[in-house]
Chain A
């Protein structure tokens, strides 16, 4: 079956995202993909979709769309958005139907910036280098969603056995784990101490490439460094001492020194922090970072497998209790 959707209203940076295009940083191409990768995986799992299925990334200002024809189940996960559809308003993460004539309004709620709307079906969108993920600055990939954009979804399905709320990803707790470096030699001990002991605030200056932070000035003692490769999570410090954490659409190299790098699994939480929210950095050793990433991955896989498993009502209730116990995979 086929469904047609039309974007009625979209905040800046609404886009199509899938798992992204890894392995191309040597050509200047970041992986891109969802800002909150856990929310993306959860939304697809809740529908029983294969991991990495293309979905809509809902930006901080929200999105409104019309279902012009067809019918399909959709799953919303991420920050605490409110979804109003066919006269029903739902808070938080859940799976629900979208039918011809429905208008779905996704509005920001009391926390978070981004949500993922996964679809039971296949989005007919352009791909670039094997991925539909939108690189926002260039528009490469499926592209940004604007009012008037029409989307065709093929192989749609209604999966009523999956309809209902599920436990959302945990809220950010403001603690980000970093591994110091790789350009720590550009910073005096005082700057390093400030990084690890003083609070930072999320700045309103942010996009899919980076999140600027307000806080202590981490003045580098030299600026003359050749461009070096960077990663999602790099904490780069400009000449005036302002720190920026690189996000999904980051540049692949940069000439500013990187004082530290946030570990991958903590970046979803950072993406969901709102301007003025407070965060602290904690340094861990590289071997601790590996162990932490493995433990979080295992917990997430358990959780996603439970979400993706077959559903009937009894199972859903049992699952809600089960998941409650392992909810804090992120922390």
Chain B
């Protein structure tokens, strides 16, 4: 089947799929359509939600419908993608004292300091938000640190925890359960509390981590 695919979702959205499994081309295609849509929304457009291989485009069913929305999106796809001019680079401080650091070291066969060095060398992209408010999924964990998530989640992991699983990393914003590996803590606030810019990152931004000794 050829991509992109347009899949109707209930009475009020289309899921535009660019690939079956994550790859950089699909990620770039999602970001390009997301930007094009933000620059030129169609009548009745409600919101767009980017993810690894797909963009959810929600609309007001009182104003438009799936066929009209699909036609508008196909027209946007034929335009050359606007450069990612809005993308920002963020530096996020991390204190690498996470409770799972020794086990991550053991499972990857690296010394704890080598785990930290590898994590610091990663170049991370904000692919999407999900799970809970402000949970930004960062792609770009170096292959040496790829571990499957734990078989079961730990409860009540505090906000600000720096977590990894597979190629993904995130800094938690709420006290929530997680099955990801806790390698450190960060003072950064992704839910900024600023009413004008309530979220630190947008999808498409880049992140680098910087080591700090204490919080």
> Which residues of A are in contact with B by a Cβ distance under 8 Å?
22-29, 129-130, 135, 137-138, 140, 178-179, 181-182, 224, 226-231, 233-234, 251-254, 261-264, 286-287, 289-290, 292-294, 297
Contacts of B158 in A (CB 8 A): none
- Give the contact-size bracket for chain B: 35 or more
In B16-37, the 8 Å CB interface with A consists of 17, 21-22
Q: Tell which of B12, B50, B55, B174 touches A138, judged by Cβ atoms closer than 8 Å.
A: B174
Bound complex: CA of A322 vs CA of B149, how far in Å? 58
Q: Is the CB of A293 within 8 A of B12?
A: yes
Inter-chain residue pair count (beta carbon < 8 A):
139
In B123-151, the 8 Å CB interface with A consists of 128-137
What residue in chain A is nearest B19 (Cβ atoms)? A226
Q: Given A229-B56, A251-B130, A252-B130, are A26 and B10 also a contact pair (CB < 8 Å)? A: no
Enumerate the 3 nearest inter-chain pairs by beta-carbon distance, A residue then B residue, closest first.
A253-B130, A229-B56, A28-B129
What residue in chain A is nearest B176 (Cβ atoms)? A137
Q: Tell which of A28, A129, A286, A290 touches B132, judged by Cβ atoms closer than 8 Å.
A: A28
Q: Is the CB of A264 within 8 A of B176?
A: no
Q: Tell which of A252, A261, A294 touches B9, judged by Cβ atoms closer than 8 Å.
A: A261
New contact pairs (14) apart from A138-B132, A254-B130, A287-B66, CB-CB < 8 Å? A26-B202, A27-B129, A27-B133, A28-B129, A28-B134, A178-B10, A179-B8, A227-B137, A229-B50, A229-B128, A230-B56, A231-B10, A251-B132, A264-B12
Q: Tell which of A129, A231, A287, A294 touches B13, judged by Cβ atoms closer than 8 Å.
A: A231
Q: Confirm or deny: B61 has a beta carbon within 8 angstroms of a beta carbon on chain A.
A: yes
What are 6 A-B residue pairs whose CB atoms fall within 8 Å in the complex? A26-B50, A137-B174, A229-B54, A252-B129, A261-B9, A292-B11
Bound complex: CA of A234 vs CA of B65, how far in Å? 18
Contacts of B73 in A (CB 8 A): none
B203 to chain A, nearest CB (A): 7
A146 to chain B, nearest CB (A): 17
Bound complex: CA of A129 vs CA of B48, how far in Å? 18
Q: Tell which of A25, A28, A140, A293 touches B11, judged by Cβ atoms closer than 8 Å.
A: A293
What residue in chain A is nearest B191 (Cβ atoms)? A140
Q: Given A22-B46, A138-B132, A140-B133, are A226 and B22 also a contact pair (CB < 8 Å)? A: yes
B124 to chain A, nearest CB (A): 17
